[in-house]
Amino acid sequence: MKQPECDREAARLLAVQMRAGGAADRVLIVLFAGFLAVLGVLFWILPDRDFSETENRSLLERPKLTAEALLDGSYTQDFAAYMADQFPARDLWIRIKAASEAAMGRMGNNGVFFGRDGTLAVRTDAPDTENLVTNLRAAAAFTSASGLPSALAVAGRTMDVLDGALPAVYGSECADALWETIREEADSAGLELIDLRTPLRTRAQAGEYVYYRTDHHWTTLGAYWGTAEILAAFGREVRPLGDYEREIASAAFFGTTWSTAGTGWIPPDTLEFFRFAEDGDYLVTVADGAGRTLEGFYDRSYLEKKDKYSAFLGGNHALVTVTKPGEERETLLVIKDSFAHAAAPFLAREYDLVLVDARYYRLRVADLIGEYGADRVLFLVNADSLTASAVWRVLPAGLE
């Protein structure tokens, strides 16, 4: 039978390669086999890491080899996952991948946009509005059963606030659509909505540093202006910026979005604390577990780690209280996500705070009202928390 064209073409190419070229061939073989073997050996002999700071998670341990696990195939699957986690120079490979995507003109990597001036934003085209509806209805039920004045303050995601984070062609269409839904659903649930996206977006457009470039949170300045909106809605005024002494807590903050994007070339953010004269007078207590008190509003040990935003209130906890001993003040129950951590120092100047995170708090949130004598309820989250899960589903429990 006649040899097909494809085989002839392959044979021609092979023939030229088979001409004497010994030295170069041997170099290629050594590089190829060496690359595979050296990394394989390094994987075996290097000690395993327990935790990845970049990814903020525990890495997998070597699975136990049992006859059962081997036969049902779970051992080999677990081993593959373990090998990926413990692969030598894991973070370096991640960055090479990100750089290659950028070089191909992809304008983003791992679901994160490469914006202007080193701004990174998580891309979310169509978030889950069912979760949003569940959360808002639950918040409304909680509010009406509690009988307390309340408001829902929603901060934007980076893609809502920093226009420069988005490629021009992508535009703000998706973000606008979500906010339209938030407004409609808050309205139909009967919640008073404090829109923190619009004012912060305006400030960002004016060049203010209100959101981090490499993290999904607002900056301390952003939290300050957000709090200003909330306090105004409650009929109070935020203290002027001049009252605060701005301390650069870290000039080397690489946030979560930066980790996801794998963009090693993007410069860090600056993380500030806004100090005020009497902030030592406040008693900040982490009420879950051992129940420790913080020095002021901060846990500075996090500034030495990658996860620097957790310096605010010591990161995620189920329940944190802030009081000003010796002063009788109104108590604000804040049902929140981590955006509230940077806002807490500003809110605390007006109210005693009970900050509860429904994702971690396993008891009845409603009981906190009586326990701490709450006078007012503030829901304070960013839009992502409202859509990511039906986290507030549990709120009305025990109120009917």
Window 294-323: residues binding another protein (CB under 8 A) = 307, 309-310, 315-316
CB of 306 to another protein, least distance (A): 11
Site string for another protein, 168-197 (x = CB under 8 A): -xxxxxx-----------------------
Nearer to another protein, 81 or 252 (CB): 81
CB of 222 to another protein, least distance (A): 16
Looking at 162-170, 225-233, 274-282, 322-330, which segment touches another protein (CB under 8 A)?
A: 162-170
- Backbone φ and ψ of 372, nearest 5°: -105, 0
Give the DSSP letter string of 234-259: TT--PPPGGG-EEEEEEEEE--HHHH
Residue of 47, 105, 207, 326 interacting with another protein (CB under 8 A): 105
Looking at 25-33, 203-211, 265-273, 370-378, which segment touches another protein (CB under 8 A)?
A: 25-33
> By CB under 8 A, what part of segment 227-266 binds another protein?
256, 259-260, 262
CB of 52 to another protein, least distance (A): 8
CB of 24 to another protein, least distance (A): 4
- Is 43 a binding residue for another protein by CB under 8 A? The answer is yes
SS (H, E, C) the chain: CCCCHHHHHHHHHHHHHHCCCHHHHHHHHHHHHHHHHHHHHHHHHCCCCCEECCCCEECCCCCCCCHHHHHCCHHHHHHHHHHHHCCCCHHHHHHHHHHHHHHCCCCEECCEEECHHHCEEECCCCCCHHHHHHHHHHHHHHHHHHCCCEEEEEECCHHHHCHHHCCCCCCCHHHHHHHHHHHHHHHHHCCCEEECHHHHHHHHHCCCCCECCCCCCECHHHHHHHHHHHHHHCCCCCCCHHHCEEEEEEEEECCHHHHHHCCCCCCCEEEEEEECCCHHHCEEEECCCCCCEEECCECHHHHHCCCHHHHECCCCCCEEEEECCCCCCCEEEEEECCHHHHHHHHHCCCCEEEEECCCCCCCCCCHHHHHHCCCEEEEEEEHHHHHHCCHHHHCCCCCC
Looking at 134-142, 164-172, 219-227, 363-371, which segment touches another protein (CB under 8 A)?
A: 164-172
Nearer to another protein, 98 or 334 (CB): 98
- Backbone φ and ψ of 274, nearest 5°: -95, 105
Residue of 46, 65, 70, 251 interacting with another protein (CB under 8 A): 70
Burial of 78 (0-12, 13-18, 19+ CB in 10 A): middle
Nearer to another protein, 47 or 326 (CB): 47
Nearer to another protein, 179 or 276 (CB): 179
- Is 4 a binding residue for another protein by CB under 8 A? The answer is yes
Nearer to another protein, 15 or 206 (CB): 15
CB of 76 to another protein, least distance (A): 5
- Is 54 a binding residue for another protein by CB under 8 A? The answer is yes
- Is 100 a binding residue for another protein by CB under 8 A? The answer is yes
- Is 26 a binding residue for another protein by CB under 8 A? The answer is yes
Looking at 32-40, 198-206, 322-330, 370-378, which segment touches another protein (CB under 8 A)?
A: 32-40
Nearer to another protein, 310 or 323 (CB): 310
Nearer to another protein, 130 or 247 (CB): 130
Nearer to another protein, 4 or 235 (CB): 4
- Is 65 a binding residue for another protein by CB under 8 A? The answer is no
